[in-house]
Every structure is written in structure tokens, then in C-alpha cells.
Structure 1
Amino acid sequence: MKVYLIAGELSGDRLGAALMEGLKTLYEGDIEFRGVGGPLMADEGLNSQFPMNELSVMGIAEVLPKYFHLKRRIRECADAVLGWQPDAMITIDSPDFCLRVARLVREASDIRTVHYVAPSVWAWRPKRAAKMAKHIDQVLALLPFEPPYMEAEGMRCDFVGHPVVNEPLADVADVDAFLASLNGAAEDPVVLVLPGSRRSEVTRLLPVFIDVMERLNQERPDLRFVLPVAGPVADLVREMINDMASPPVLIDPSGLSSQEALMRKRAGFQAADIALAASGTVSLELAAAGTPMVIAYDVSWLSRQIFKRMLKIDTVTLVNLVSETRVVPEFIAENCQPEAITKGVLKLLQAPQEQAEALELTMKRLGRGDQDPGLRAARAVLDGLSTSKST
């Protein structure tokens, strides 16, 4: 069996790797993978067609300068699929890129197309479901309330759970070793700082987060700050924090194997008392670790205006949405200001336990305790393939 996959960012790389592992476990014959992915997918046997981080762009204004380059990459991916003729093409998240590839593939072939991660039509741009139905056969959904939106437009949609629920957590020894490596007293609180994995996110958010850390240092000099950094932006982050009087401890994957880097990151998540994080999948990683959080996010002025007019929900944090609560404080767009965020972090430090129930409920609703989501996703893909061949 031949499978072509595309992942455009680190969260997609994790999804792709879990799916690939699941396919290798369930499929009895040989499987060959091609496409675009990151280090975790490479560990599962994918030789990326080009670096995945070329696709890690967020926000309408941020995409515009790279439009022609991205358009060329879309064509290159579609040509690779059409030339190879795989049994299935699986695109993972990054819908603005992936669904354009799928459209070109569908226009020229009947190759089965699967999109992993349902676009958030419940949040904004609801007409996307109808548009993608023209060139997507099957959707793999991470959130339990998503299938009806996809099925209403004629696509098969399987809720497969989120891989974060079954990813291993750091054990006590790893957490203790991590805490021992930090400066300060053992009882000093640890604040995890997560400004995103995309270059555009880090450039926009980290200056705000640095300001927050400096303000917090004035209010609470006992706090210890830890900043896990994604490999593609490690040098940028290091440069940006260079002038801080008390810079955070970096968790840098450079020079480590992907598994070693993951274990160190997990130890940091487990060791943290609270987190200040960008909006996105990271909120689910924090929920899995039981780490209370404050969410802050901003985009360009133009993207702000567009999103504000299109947004259909009152929260962008996945924990709030899945748990159907609003216990995670958010500082989004024009509210992403250092003074307000600092107050939010200090308030959370006083009562972090208030989020505990929502974090636990989120994990339960996403499939914690059920079969591994990677296996569920792989089973859905294989079932979809067999069903399509028999009809």
C-alpha cells in the first residue's frame, strides 16, 4: 500500500506520526510513505519532500508575502501525488495549504483523499465544509462534536480522539531531575512560557511574553521560568531573550533525538505549576499534564479585523470548548497586553486548582482511557479504503 501524507506544522507532525505507526500496526502488507512532514514522521519512515516548516505560517497578512512560494509548493505536492498514484492521500491540518493540494489531485484523479483534523467550521468560515466536500472523501475529527458538520455535507467523518490523551507523561524521576536542573529553591513555582512554534507567532508573541516575565519577576521574584522551544525557531528565541536580566531556562531540542527532546519537554510540562501559552493545540498538551494555563495570542492588525468579523465563538481555547466551560482566561488580539496578562498569571497562581475539573473533563471527552487515537485513525482510513473499493 502507498500513502502520501502532508503535515504543515509540529502538531500535524505528531498526528501524522501516530497515524503512520497505527497503519504499520494494522496493515498486514508492506506500506510505503511519501509526502511532507517533520521529525516524528521521519522517525516513522517518511522522507520529507521539502522542509515542513515552510508551511508553518499563520494569519492572512502573514501568508501574503509567501503566497507565490506556497502556491508553487501546492503544485509540487499535487504533481508528486499524481505521479506516484498512491492508494490514499492524507492531508493533516493546515487546511489552506492541504485542501488546495486535494483540489488539484481530485480534479485530475480518483485517488482517495482523507483530511485529518476537521476545519473549525463551528468557529469561523462555516462554508468551508461544503467546499472541501468537493474534493475530500473522508475526514478524521479530533473533537467529538465535529462529525455532524462534515457529514451534513456528504463526507464520511470519524471521531478518532486526540493523540495527546495517550501520549506518555514524564515519570516522577524525570520531573525531579528536571526541577533539580533549574535555578532557585525546590519549592519555588515554575511558570512554563509557550510563545508558539511558528516563526510568525514567536516574533509577535515573545516580546509580549518577555515583558510579562519581567513584570512577574518584579512581583514574584521566586518564580522560575521555563521556555520549551521548537527546533526551527530555537536560534530566534535565543536571540530575543539574550538581553533579559533573568532569562528563562530553555528546553532546546537541538542536538537531541526526537524522543529525547519529547521526554525533556514532557518533564517540563509536568514540573510546571502554571503556563502562559499561545492559543492552539498546546492547551491540550497542558491539559494532559494537568497544568493550569493562561492563553494569550495576537496576529497582525489586518488579520485581527478579518477574524473578528468571521469568528462565531466566544473563546478560542480548546480546553474551554471541549469542557464547555470558560475557566481558562484568554488575552486575545487587542487584549494581548503585558499588564493584563501579568494580572491574569498572578491570579491563576493564587488559585490554580480552579481549572483542574475542566482539564480532566477535556481529556475524558477527547478519548483518554479509550483505544490509542493513532490506531483509531488508522483503522478509519483502512476501513474507508476497503469500503470505497467495494462500492
Structure 2
Amino acid sequence: MKKPPHLVIVAGEDSGDFHGANLATALQRQSPGIKLSGIGGSKMEESGVELIFPSSRLAVIGLTEVLGRISDIRAGRKAIREHLLKIRPDLLILIDFPGFNLHLVAPFAHKLKIPIVYYISPKVWAWRQGRVATINRLIDRVLVILPFEKEFFEQHNVAVEYVGNPLLDDFASFKSLDRRQNHNIALIPGSRRGEIKRLLPEMITAARLYLREQPESRFLIPVAPSIAFTDIEKLIPANFREYVTLLRQPLATLLEDVSFALVTSGTATLETALAEIPMVVIYKINQLSYLIGKRIIKVPFISLVNLIAGKEIVPELIQTEANPEKIVRQMRAIRDHKPSYNRTVQDLQKLKLRLGKPGAAQRAAAAIIDELKKHG
């Protein structure tokens, strides 16, 4: 009797853990008995993936942050390489996290002749487009979640499939409402410790300034699974804590009860857009990392929202621009101005339609099983 296939999944951040968990669930439904192991977080573990290394030790952003966590990265590399050598899986699934996955994991797996599917591909369209050649050489199939990515990879002769955006599942039944009368504002500082330390203080100061003008305002902060509540609380001044609520719940759930958001650039901007919540996107990293990135990044916007829309529909404040005074100025211009607020909501609704239908994880699982059969 043929033993069930064994697939390895590698995800390196909270967002990857989330998508990896949904993918794992879909794979097990479509291929009962399939065995899954790899690197991820608590959600992947709960979904039935046997973890060999925690992704929380790998979540870094920027050049200097990577240098500070080099021992963890080496430990993760050692763990996944030993695992691949030991079990020789039928297929390897990489989820985003290109610094680790594309450069440290994929070449090693390729040498072992393990088929590789990349789900949620590296953003090579934004920077270091030379990596497309690496993807073409190492990866058997790329599954993308942004509409414009399919065309980009096709132009470079990469085997690619658009499976839809997995975030749509959380917002399929989301009701369009007039939320301006809701006084709650989301402060979404991200899931990486470095960006939280850099950006949450700016958000908190902006919130305090805005509270003086709009005293009925209250602020909700989602806390990622890999972050302790105490790490967030110590960044909030004691005399402001009564106006802030920390929540450990899906961002989609939190967004049902807000009218506006301050969001760190990343996946959360798209989630906020799918909830049809106007926002200000802020981005601030180590200055050295920023200066290096500025020379090589080839896109006109930093947020997925504006990139998908092909124009600026939400403001972006970068580096020194991401200061409390300018954040509040944008809050006034959008949240306190009904025509601007409504226009932003309409733009976000159009963006949502461009992404297609829910069910990305199911379509990705089907594509992976199809790839598995090719190599069976």
C-alpha cells in the first residue's frame, strides 16, 4: 500500500503562519491522510502541521535587524536542512519570506531534487528583479495572490497561477456600512518587534493629539500571536491606557468595529482595505535599511492598497514623514471630512472587486496536489 505523501511547509512570519494554516487545512481536506511538517507558528501547528522550528525566531525586517538575529536564522536553516535530508518530502511549499526561503531553503531542496511550489511569491516586481531568474531555475510552480503578479511572472516565463487573495475569505460576508459615527480607531503596528517599537509610539502620540480634538475617540490595538501584551503595554503612557484596548483576535474581527485606522505598511493595509476602512499607511525602518531599499525598490507606492489600485487612494507617510503631526493632519483630512471619507470607501470597494472571489487556499491546495501528481 502506497504511503500518503509528506509535504513540508516553510513560513517565516505571522502572516505566513496564517496562510500556511489555511493551506494546511485545505490540503488535508482535499488529500486525507497527507502528512505536513515544517516551520511555522501556532496557527499552523493547530491546523495539523508538525513544527520543527518556530517561525517567531525568524521574524525580522531590514538589514540591521537580520544581522541582530543571525544566530536564530542559522539555527532555522540548520533545522530545515536536516529535516529535508531526513524525510526527503514529496514536495516543499514555501510561503513568502524570501530572504530565508528563496536563498537558504530553495537551493538546498533543489539539489535534493525536491519539487518546490512557492505560495505567495517574493515581491520581485518591487525590487531585485534579478531574483526572477532564481525563481525560474529553482521553483516548479508559483502561486500568486495579487492580480498584477501573474502578468509579471508570465512575462519572465515562470510557471505561475493566480489563485485569488486568501484575505478575501475573511471579508466575504463583510457588510458595507456607514462607519463614520463609530468612534473607534484601529492602531495596527504590525507583527514584528522592530516595527512595533518604531511605529507604535508614533501612532500613540498621534492618537493622543487626535483625542484632544475628538475626545470621544477610542483606540483598538490588535496584538499578534507572537507578541506579548506586556510588550505593547509598556509603549503606552499610563495616563493614556484608559483610552486604549488591546485585543488578541483576528484583524478582520477588530475591523468590524472601527471607522478609521493607522496601519503599518504590509498585509494589514490590504485587510483594512477589504474591510472598507479608510486609513493612513505609515512606514519607518532603520535608516540604513531605508537608504539601501530606496535605491533598489522599483514601485511607486509602499502599500498593497495603492499598488493594486494603480493610484494613491490612501495616504502613505514614510520615514520622517511618519510623525504624529502629519499623521493627525491626514486623519483630519479624511476621517473628519465626509466627502473624502466616502470617496475613499468607494475606491476601496472597487479594489475589492478587482481581487476576485474567496477560496484562495482551496485553489492553492488543488494546484499543489496537481503539482504533486506531476512528480509522482
TM-score by length of 2: 0.91
Contact kept, 8 Å, 1:121 with 1:149, in 2: the verdict is no
SS class of match (2:147): coil
1:342 alignment partner, one of 305, 328, 347: 328
Paired residue type of 1:363: K
Say yes or no: does 1:292 pair with 2:278: yes
CA distance in 2, matches of 1:387, 1:169: 33
The verdict on how the C-alpha distance between 1:341 and 1:154 changes in structure 2, with shifts beyond 3 A counting, is same
Structure 2 match to 1:53:
56
CA distance in 1, matches of 2:161, 2:235: 42
Contact kept, 8 Å, 2:10 with 2:93, in 1: the verdict is yes
Identity %: 32
1:131-146 → structure 2 map (5 Å cutoff): 131-146=134-149
Say yes or no: does 1:16 pair with 2:23: no
Contact kept, 8 Å, 1:75 with 1:101, in 2: the verdict is no
CA distance in 1, matches of 2:35, 2:266: 31
Kindly provide the CA deviation profile for residues 298-318 of structure 1, in whole angstroms up to 9, marking residues without a partner as x.
Answer: 000101101111121121111
Structure 2 match to 1:241:
236
CA distance in 2, matches of 1:371, 1:246: 37
Kindly provide the CA deviation profile for residues 111-137 of structure 1, in whole angstroms up to 9, marking residues without a partner as x.
Answer: 111111121122111111112322221
The verdict on how the C-alpha distance between 1:352 and 1:72 changes in structure 2, with shifts beyond 3 A counting, is same
TM-score by length of 1: 0.88
2:298 alignment partner, one of 312, 328, 337: 312
SS class of match (1:34): strand
CA distance in 2, matches of 1:310, 1:358: 29
CA distance in 2, matches of 1:366, 1:313: 19
> What's the CA shift for 1:35?
0.5
Structure 1 match to 2:73:
70
Structure 2 match to 1:223:
217
> What's the CA shift for 1:362?
2.1
Structure 2 match to 1:98:
101
Structure 2 match to 1:182:
none
Say yes or no: does 1:364 pair with 2:364: no
CA distance in 2, matches of 1:152, 1:103: 23
The verdict on how the C-alpha distance between 1:138 and 1:283 changes in structure 2, with shifts beyond 3 A counting, is same
CA distance in 2, matches of 1:188, 1:373: 31
Contact kept, 8 Å, 1:205 with 1:297, in 2: the verdict is yes
Structure 2 match to 1:272:
258
Structure 2 match to 1:192:
186
RMSD: 2.1
Kindly provide the CA deviation profile for residues 158-189 of structure 1, in whole angstroms up to 9, marking residues without a partner as x.
Answer: 111111112257889xx9xxx9xxxxxx9552
> What's the CA shift for 1:242?
4.3
> What's the CA shift for 1:278?
0.2
Contact kept, 8 Å, 1:138 with 1:157, in 2: the verdict is yes
The verdict on how the C-alpha distance between 1:4 and 1:202 changes in structure 2, with shifts beyond 3 A counting, is same
Q: Which runs of 5 or more residues in structure 1 are unaligned? A: 180-185, 254-260
> What's the CA shift for 1:192?
0.6
CA distance in 2, matches of 1:115, 1:343: 41
The verdict on how the C-alpha distance between 1:4 and 1:297 changes in structure 2, with shifts beyond 3 A counting, is same
Paired residue type of 1:26: Q
Number of matched pairs: 365
Paired residue type of 2:81: A
CA distance in 2, matches of 1:288, 1:360: 7
SS class of match (1:49): strand
Kindly provide the CA deviation profile for residues 332-383 of structure 1, in whole angstroms up to 9, marking residues without a partner as x.
Answer: 122111111110111111232121222122222222xx35111110111112
1:123-134 → structure 2 map (5 Å cutoff): 123-134=126-137
Contact kept, 8 Å, 2:132 with 2:156, in 1: the verdict is yes
Contact kept, 8 Å, 2:171 with 2:274, in 1: the verdict is no
SS class of match (1:271): coil
CA distance in 1, matches of 2:85, 2:245: 43
SS class of match (1:50): strand
Contact kept, 8 Å, 2:205 with 2:324, in 1: the verdict is yes
CA distance in 2, matches of 1:303, 1:324: 26
SS class of match (1:205): helix
1:197-208 → structure 2 map (5 Å cutoff): 197-208=191-202
CA distance in 1, matches of 2:144, 2:16: 13
Segments ≥4 residues shifted beyond 6 Å: 169-172
Structure 2 match to 1:283:
269
> What's the CA shift for 1:96?
0.3
Say yes or no: does 1:148 pair with 2:151: yes
CA distance in 1, matches of 2:311, 2:155: 26
1:371-382 → structure 2 map (5 Å cutoff): 372-382=359-369
Q: Which runs of 5 or more residues in structure 2 are unaligned? A: none
> What's the CA shift for 1:153?
4.2
Contact kept, 8 Å, 2:182 with 2:259, in 1: the verdict is no
SS class of match (2:333): helix
CA distance in 2, matches of 1:209, 1:275: 10
Contact kept, 8 Å, 1:77 with 1:101, in 2: the verdict is yes
The verdict on how the C-alpha distance between 1:382 and 1:95 changes in structure 2, with shifts beyond 3 A counting, is same
Structure 2 match to 1:387:
374
The verdict on how the C-alpha distance between 1:380 and 1:304 changes in structure 2, with shifts beyond 3 A counting, is same
CA distance in 2, matches of 1:148, 1:110: 28
SS class of match (1:146): helix
